[in-house]
């Protein structure tokens, strides 16, 4: 039971926040003027990290996450690919950091963080669409196909 609650209320939200921050930071580096990361649903507390970057943590913080960003110009396909890859790559980085920490401090929470981050990395690279929401892999595939069609 402790494992379930640790995963639900601690590990999953931290890993999701890391994943979405990956998208947000890549969007910011691609020229987004405004970047927001949302963790959970319901009334939220907003942290202004930078004038153009904020994080919203909702009361039901364990129920999903998303990044939102705006740019005056349209993102180029390569920029969209980089932004879509940002989340999975940050998840992979989180798994590697958790594994490195686990080598020195073998704790079950770190092992769950390794597994959950690897799961986020792998699942988000699979192209799929559920109820209109596309995975990172689906967005990457769409832009890669667009680039290949333009070059031929």
What tens digit of pLDDT does each residue of 82-133 get? 999 999 999 999 999 999 999 999 999 999 999 999 999 999 999 999 998 9
* Residue 3 pLDDT: 72
In a domain, 57, yes or no: no
In a domain, 9, yes or no: yes
- Whether the pLDDT of residue 9 is over 90: the answer is no
* Residue 6 pLDDT: 79
In a domain, 59, yes or no: no
* Residue 143 pLDDT: 96
Share of the chain above pLDDT 90, in %: 86
Nearby residues of 76 by Cβ (< 8 Å), 6 or more positions away: none
SS3 63: strand
In a domain, 42, yes or no: no
In a domain, 135, yes or no: yes
In a domain, 92, yes or no: yes
pLDDT band at 4 (very low <50, low <70, confident <90, very high): confident
SS3 57: strand
In a domain, 25, yes or no: yes
* Residue 62 pLDDT: 84
* Residue 33 pLDDT: 95
Domain count for the chain, please give it. 1
In a domain, 126, yes or no: yes
Distance CA 4, CA 20 (A): 22
List the domain range (segments joined by +) for residue 27: 2-31+73-151
**What residues does 34 pair with on adjacent strands?**
70
* Residue 34 pLDDT: 96
What tens digit of pLDDT does each residue of 51-67 get? 999 999 999 988 899 99
């Amino acid at each position: 039971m402790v494992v379930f609650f640790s995963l639900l209320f601690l590990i999953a939200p931290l890993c999701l926040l890391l994943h979405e921050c990956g998208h947000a930071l890549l969007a910011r580096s691609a020229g987004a003027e405004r970047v927001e990361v949302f963790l959970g649903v319901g009334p939220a507390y907003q942290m202004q990290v930078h004038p153009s970057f904020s994080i919203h943590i909702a009361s039901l913080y364990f129920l999903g996450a998303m990044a939102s960003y705006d740019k005056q110009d349209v993102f180029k396909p390569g920029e969209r690919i980089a932004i879509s890859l940002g989340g999975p790559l940050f998840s992979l980085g989180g798994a590697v950091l958790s594994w490195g920490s686990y080598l020195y401090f073998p704790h079950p929470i770190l092992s769950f963080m390794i597994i959950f981050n690897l799961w986020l990395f792998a699942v988000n690279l699979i192209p799929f669409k559920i109820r209109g929401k596309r995975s990172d892999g689906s967005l990457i595939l769409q832009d890669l196909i667009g680039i290949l069609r333009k070059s031929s």
